[in-house]
């Protein structure tokens, strides 16, 4: 009885709609948004915000700026979703926008020394924050190991050349297929494979002394 | 299979692009025999697992900032009339200005009457016979008198003031 009452309230109905949306495929959620469903776009944001943030963060190496860029991705998707070719994969499209924004950010950074300096300074400060302010429930040596491994992995990924790094992150972190990676980066399959091989080689050589 | 071939074809094997059993057996056999390639693959897989374990989440204010920006976008989309009217007015104004310029450019203009300039005395060179001396004489001798510049404004001496050069005669 109480459950029925809950469902009939406004919040309950909205929660049920959101749950239904989360079970739909991307293409269907897009169609619901274009049919003026007010919650549909929120479902897309829920689905992609973390994934895009990790992808962009790994590509540009700046978490705060990555959040700004991911917001920009969603604004562009919102503006142009009515023109999106629904025969194509939505995830490929949104990742292409994110990849292009990340590439532009790296290009602008290389041209502006002040932006580069500010990024290095920010990363230095986050690397040198005291360990005791982290997870207080874990043991100190576990904390150190986790922190060390996290830093090691981030360092190794950031040392990869940009075009290798993008392909490596899309494959290893996002699980994208070769075809999807080729569409997102605008390369052919052979180039994707070659870059991925080199990226893995370089990453293995860099990480090997740190994970033994 | 050697180490170089394994690393070059690693993506094919690992990502399931090679399914032929014979090729997969060659790959497995080399890994079993080569410690260096085994360590290389193990380091790669450990690093990738560590990479996948270090995922980050958006900050708490990420969503509220995004919603604020989306609200502005919705407002901008919902109020296109004001912008469209202003745009139409601007377009009409520009079109009218261009039409005016085009009409003015095509219409033939009658030349405005210009006041005639006063005649300028043009000195004429006159050579004295027998004496290699050239002076400028005002062709309108009658207007010399009273003319402040009878010989124009060029810096020359009137013929009457020039002493003929005698060549020792």
pLDDT in tens, A13-57: 666 666 688 889 999 999 999 999 989 999 999 999 999 999 999
Q: What is the per-residue DSSP string for A60-72?
A: HS-HHHHHHHHHH
Looking up tokens 């919102």 gives A78
0.90 surpassed by complex ipTM:
no
Q: Two tokens at A93?
A: 């499209």
Best of B48, B49, B59, B60 to disrupt the A interface by mutation (most A CBs within 10 Å)? B48
Residues of B whose CB is below 8 A from A172: 48, 51-52
Comparing A171-180, B1-10, B68-77, the range with the smallest average pLDDT is: B1-10
Give the rounded percent of residues in chain B with a pLDDT score beyond 70.
64
> Do B12 and A196 count as a contact with CB atoms less than 8 A apart?
no
Q: What is the per-residue DSSP string for chain B?
A: --HHHHHHSHHHHHTT----HHHHHHHHHHHHH-HHHHHHHHHHHHHHHHHHH------TTHHHHHHHHHHHHHHHHH-HHHHHHHHHHHHHHHHHHHHHHHHHHHSPPPPPP-PPPPPPP--EEEEPTTS--EEEE-S-GGGTTT-SSTT-SSS--BGGGPPPPP---
Q: A45 by DSSP, 3-state: which? A: helix
Tell me: the pLDDT tens digits for B23-34?
889 988 999 999
Tell me: the pLDDT tens digits for A157-212?
888 998 999 999 999 989 999 999 999 999 999 999 989 989 998 998 888 877 65
Asked if pLDDT for residue B38 goes beyond 60, the answer is yes
Cβ-Cβ contacts under 8 Å for A37 (sequence gap 6 or more): A17, A21
Mean pLDDT of A58-75: 94
Is B20 at the interface with chain A, CB within 8 A? no
Residue whose C-alpha is closest to residue A132's, from A114, A144, A116, A148: A144
Asked if pLDDT for residue A144 goes beyond 70, the answer is no
Return the pLDDT at B11: 82
> Do B50 and A152 count as a contact with CB atoms less than 8 A apart?
yes
What is the value of pTM for the model shown?
Answer: 0.66
Comparing B11-15, B71-75, B117-121, the range with the smallest average pLDDT is: B117-121
Residues of B whose CB is below 8 A from A152: 50
Return the pLDDT at A79: 94
> Do B54 and A150 count as a contact with CB atoms less than 8 A apart?
yes
Question: Cα B19 from chain centroid?
Answer: 56
CA distance B130 to B133: 9
* Nearest residue in A to B40, CA atom: A204
* Band (B118; pLDDT cuts 50, 70, 90): confident
Asked if pLDDT for residue B54 goes beyond 50, the answer is yes
């Amino acid at each position: 009885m109480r459950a029925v009452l809950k469902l009939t309230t406004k919040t309950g109905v909205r929660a049920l709609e959101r749950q239904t949306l989360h079970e739909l495929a991307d293409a269907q959620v897009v169609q619901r948004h274009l049919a003026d469903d007010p919650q549909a776009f929120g479902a897309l944001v829920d689905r992609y915000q973390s994934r895009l943030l990790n992808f962009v963060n790994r590509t540009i190496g700046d978490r705060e700026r990555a959040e700004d860029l991911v917001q920009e991705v969603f604004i562009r998707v919102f503006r142009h979703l009515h023109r999106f070719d629904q025969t194509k994969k939505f995830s490929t499209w949104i990742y292409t926008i994110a990849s292009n924004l990340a590439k532009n950010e790296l290009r602008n950074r290389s041209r502006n020394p002040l932006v580069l300096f500010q990024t290095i300074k920010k990363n230095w400060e986050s690397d040198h924050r005291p360990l005791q302010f982290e997870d207080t429930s874990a043991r100190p040596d576990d904390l150190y190991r986790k922190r060390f491994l996290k830093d090691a992995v981030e360092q190794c990924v950031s040392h990869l050349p940009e075009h290798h790094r993008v392909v490596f992150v899309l494959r290893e972190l996002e699980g994208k297929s070769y075809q999807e990676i080729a569409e997102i980066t605008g390369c052919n399959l052979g180039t994707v494979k070659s870059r991925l091989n080199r990226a893995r080689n370089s990453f293995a050589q860099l990480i090997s002394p740190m994970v033994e | 299979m050697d180490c170089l071939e394994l690393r070059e074809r690693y993506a094919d094997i690992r990502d399931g692009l090679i399914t032929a059993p014979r090729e997969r057996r060659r790959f497995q056999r080399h890994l079993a025999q080569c410690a260096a390639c085994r360590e290389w693959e193990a380091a790669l897989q450990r690093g990738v697992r560590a990479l996948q374990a270090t995922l980050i989440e958006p900050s708490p204010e990420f969503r509220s900032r995004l919603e604020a920006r989306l609200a502005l976008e919705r407002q901008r989309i919902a109020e296109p009339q004001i912008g469209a009217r202003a745009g139409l007015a601007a377009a009409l104004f520009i079109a009218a200005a261009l039409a005016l310029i085009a009409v003015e450019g095509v219409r033939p203009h009658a030349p405005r009457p210009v006041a005639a300039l006063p005649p300028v005395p043009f000195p004429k060179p006159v050579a004295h016979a027998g004496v290699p001396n050239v002076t400028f004489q005002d062709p309108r001798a009658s207007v010399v008198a009273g003319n402040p510049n009878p010989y124009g404004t060029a810096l020359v001496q009137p013929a009457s003031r020039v002493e003929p050069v005698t060549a020792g005669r």
